[in-house]
Chain A
Amino acid sequence: MRERSLAIRSFTDLANPTRFVALAGRLLPWLASLTVLLFAIGLTLCFTTAADYQQGETVRIMYIHVPAAWLAMMGYTVMAASALGTLVWRHPLADVAAKCAAPIGAGFTALALVTGSLWGKPMWGTWWVWDARLTSFFILFLMYLGLIALNRAMDDAGRAAKVAAVLILVGFVNIPIIKFSVDWWNTLHQPASVLRLGGSAIDPEFRRPLLVMALAFTCLFFTLHLAAMRTEIWRRRIAAMRRQAARGAASA
């Protein structure tokens, strides 16, 4: 009987946190094992494929750098979609989703920046260049950190979410700028070579591990995001219970 009432028939049913937690609990082990499997395949491919004739072994950094950068942008897109959910449909889980995506996205952004820097030293001869792609990505990192700080500065989770949602949506302007910065400006960072009109310009030898790693990173993102959302829901529930208990103790 209880199982039936918790069945999810449509997207709006996800609004019930209890249903969501149940679904997340069922999905998480599968997603986690899929992530591990994909990483096992991806990392093996990374280290068995040929080295680039020009870049040598450093080309392997790309298999981490590029997926991390993609996921950093996707993380922000997920946040923006959740922010829209908070403001337009007042979906109760949207603010949880937005709040939990921020630290994960910030982690991927930091990973992309660090790996890019490590690759840049031997290839470009410098750790950091202020070109359009790097600068806009650094701004993305700053925005993630600012949003985390904003969420932490407020006590009331509901109000924090609404205010943060406004900022998330305005900051979303940055995402297309990052994507097209290499086309609009003449940058040191190379232009897009995998996802572009007229087919991919990258050799299949390098594309295969890259795509597997991208899938692995995506699974990792959703695993972490689901787990974080579940934790956040539990945390809010515990806070509410504590408040209730305190009120009960005060009136007794």
Chain B
Amino acid sequence: MMALYLRDLKLATRAGGGALTGILFFLAVVAVVPFGLGPDLKLLARVGPAMLWIGALLASLLGLDRLFQAEREDGALDVMLMQETPLVLVVFVKCLAHWTASGLPLVLISPLLGLFLNMEPAAILATMLTLLAGTPAITLIGAMGAAVAVALPRGGLLVSILVLPLVVPVLIFGVSAAYAAVEDPAPFLPPFLILIAISLFFAVIGPAAAAVALRASSE
């Protein structure tokens, strides 16, 4: 399992891997926001957490359809299906590697982008925390979409459409927790705990569903 984790991590960070593309895309989305809204610093500070969340969501959807596609093409997927290790576990480890390679950098770079958007330190910290708790859920839900995409002759965009409705709760609670940290009356903890609960819930459901879909599509 450790070997698989390291292998996926290496593949993702090498030249041609998707990790860097995700960060650049995140950067580009956030850079576009001031052009769309106008460079009003107060307004930017207010929409900042939401923009960071939407950017991170789109950036993590970007690389998802490749999660199993490359293995499918070079035949490694068939080996994974045949070996004795439970497929659910394999999928989970692959998700973990994918998150470390593409989700974690998004979290780490978000404070810098927060400065671009004129956010307060507390808001930046809160957004970073919620992203840390929420992006695993996006990857785990996306694994399901990626497993479905394996069966498609031309997956790609369809994956994002299928996954997007399911990630909406993550976005809702992530953004509301980030805002609760800044605006006084709303408490921070309840939405944050729900966000963590969603991540844990999909840590169980996501890999299991992805494994079923992979088996179904390889028959």
Contact = CB atoms under 8 A, between A and B. Distances in A.
Interface residues of A, number: 24
Given A159-B219, A170-B166, A171-B166, A154 B209 contact: no
A90 to B, nearest CB: 11
B165 A171 contact: yes
The majority secondary structure among interface residues of chain A is helix
B151 interface: yes
A166 B212 contact: yes
A170 B148 contact: no
A146 interface: yes
Contacts, number: 66
A97 B162 CA distance: 20
The majority secondary structure among interface residues of chain B is helix
Given A149-B158, A149-B161, A163 B151 contact: yes
The size class of the interface chain B forms with chain A is: 20 to 34
B4 interface: no
Given A153-B158, A154-B151, A155-B153, A166 B216 contact: yes
Interface string B33-65: 000000000000000000000000000000000
Interface string A91-132: 000000000000000000000000000000000000000000
Nearest to A132: B172
A106 to B, nearest CB: 13
Contact of A139 (B154, B165, B209): B165
Given A166-B148, A167-B148, A146 B216 contact: no
Interface of A: 87, 135, 139, 142-143, 145-147, 149-150, 153-155, 159-160, 162-163, 165-167, 169-171, 174
Interface of B: 144, 147-148, 151-154, 158, 161-162, 164-166, 168, 205, 209, 212-213, 216-217, 219
